[in-house]
Amino acid sequence: MSFDVQKIRQDFPILQRKVNGYPLVYFDNAATSQKPQVVIDSIVDYYSNYNANIHRGVHSLSQEATDVYELAREKIKQHFNAKHNHEIIFTSGTTHSINIVASGYSEILQKGDEVIVSAMEHHSNIVPWQMLCEKTGAVLKVIPMNEEGNLLVSDYDTILSSATKLVFVNHVSNALGTINPIKEIIEKAHQYGAKVLIDGAQACSHILPDFQDLDVDFYVASAHKMCGPTGVGFLYGKSELLNILPPYQGGGEMIKEVTFKKTTYAELPHKFEAGTPNISGGIAFGVALDYLSAIGIDAINSYENELLNYATEKLLEIEGLKIYGTGKEKTAVISFNIEGIHPYDIGTIVDKLGVAVRTGHHCAQPIMEFYKIPGTVRASFAFYNTKKEIDIFIEAIKKAKMMLS
Ligand code: 7TS
């Protein structure tokens, strides 16, 4: 199938709207992607035609909802090449997934154990581990990064030791777009018997990780960055690891048997899925994966790279503009500042011209601290964006610069 961006754009109703009187140019895809009509329709279809609670009713409607929901789990398993369906835990998103693992290990790790995080993590892949360290007395170590926004893997080699129990790194940095060498990071950790959690929140809409090939221990992501709805995501874990982790929440659905003396827990995946889940969200996530697969992640990736290169070239023509995150391996994210101008002011002016970008620290304050800046303007592209939109964006940035200089 050839890549026809104009045809693809017709799948996204929101791309037709205007913002502040201008056609919307949506370059905040790293915050959340837009949703194609098929995903929106699948939510309406669930509530219109087979809304029922799952895993509990003998009645037909509940069975039907259960089957479609479980099919979504199967789709996630297949898409990322996990070994078993029960290794896919539905969660409310990346943050929830990380907290399940961090909270579980806080009952396993001991004083003196070490955990390693990278210098370019989103706060949701830092704070839960700091909480774990506070509870257990484990020590948090950091893989540093360089000016280009690449991790210093040679420093990782010196931090790793037999005391290392866990390593957590994002697959792609949300603030810089850097694609981290996760296969190498995982292999090295495994040489010391440490387990690795990869935060794939920014990766899965651009690249396709193969969980078995990576031999990753835990991988987490959110549906809403992959054309799916908000409030749903997954935690992948190898079953032998998920089996030793204690449950995160107690309640219905996650038990085998409850008496006032003792409760036994359900098997995977239900052990980690207490309460009624986001049923329509899970189903729509499956539909979003089908949608992305039909276009092809490789085709998406190479088209987005074209946009990235085009926009990078044009931005660098603007005097005083500096891009943060200049490594070779990048997704279509550009973080930048213009000398003497606050990023927030640029974001506000371009919004008046219909251009949506994110400004600020992007929930990655340690990166801002590294570059000694308050924040950046971040433009993040998706496969439904166009070069024409980039031209509009560049003009808007130039106008903002003129007004603010
Ligand atoms: N990890 C990374 C790398 C992220 O980019 C994000 C969200 C999260 C974790 C948290 O995901 P959630 O779905 O649980 O919220 N990142 C962003 C962003 O860059 N702009 O808005 C949200």
Domain harbouring 167, CATH code: 3.40.640.10
Q: Which residues pair with 233 in a beta bridge?
A: 91, 222
| CB of 95 sitting under 6 A from ligand 1 | yes
- The closest of 393, 174, 384, 379 to 299, measured between CA atoms, is 384
Evaluate whether 214 touches 188 at the Cβ level (below 8 Å): no
Question: What 8-state DSSP symbol labels residue 45?
Answer: H
Among 293, 308, 334, the domain boundary falls at: 293
- Whether residues 57 and 20 fall in one domain: no
- Whether residues 270 and 152 fall in one domain: yes
Q: Which residues fall within 8 angstroms of residue 402, CB to CB, at 6 or more apart?
A: none
**Overall average pLDDT of the 376-385 stretch:** 98
Residue type, 255: I
- The closest of 100, 89, 87 to 240, measured between CA atoms, is 87
Distance 308 CA to ligand 1 centre (A): 20
CA distance 1 to 305: 18
- Whether residues 258 and 345 fall in one domain: no
- The closest of 223, 221, 239 to 231, measured between CA atoms, is 223
pLDDT for the residue numbered 54 = 96
* Atom 20, ligand 1: residue with shortest CA distance: 31
Evaluate whether 357 touches 350 at the Cβ level (below 8 Å): yes
pLDDT tens track for 171-217: 999 999 999 999 999 999 999 999 999 999 999 999 999 999 999 99
Diameter over CA atoms, the chain? 71
Q: What is the bridge-based pairing of β-strands 195-199 and 218-222?
A: parallel
Count up the domains in the chain and report the number.
Answer: 2
- Whether residues 148 and 234 fall in one domain: yes
Active-site residues: which are they?
363
Could you tell which of 91, 222, 278 is best to mutate to test the pocket of ligand 1, judged by most ligand atoms within 8 Å of the CB?
A: 222
| CB of 179 sitting under 6 A from ligand 1 | no
Evaluate whether 318 touches 307 at the Cβ level (below 8 Å): no
Outline where DSSP puts E strands in 53-161: 88-91, 114-118, 139-143
Residue type, 96: H
Distance 68 CA to ligand 1 centre (A): 27
CA distance 232 to 282: 6
pTM (2 decimals)? 0.98
Among 248, 263, 293, the domain boundary falls at: 293
* Structural domain includes residue 404: no
pLDDT tens track for 51-101: 999 998 789 999 999 999 999 999 999 999 999 999 999 999 999 999 999
* Atom 17, ligand 1: residue with shortest CA distance: 31
pLDDT for the residue numbered 57 = 78
CA distance 238 to 86: 9
**Overall average pLDDT of the 367-385 stretch:** 98
Domain extent, residue 233, equals 40-293
Secondary structure in 3-state letters for 360-398:
ECCCCHHHHHHHCCCCEEEEECCCCCCHHHHHHHHHHHH
- Whether residues 208 and 156 fall in one domain: yes
- Whether residues 255 and 300 fall in one domain: no
Among 242, 261, 293, the domain boundary falls at: 293
* Atom 4, ligand 1: residue with shortest CA distance: 201
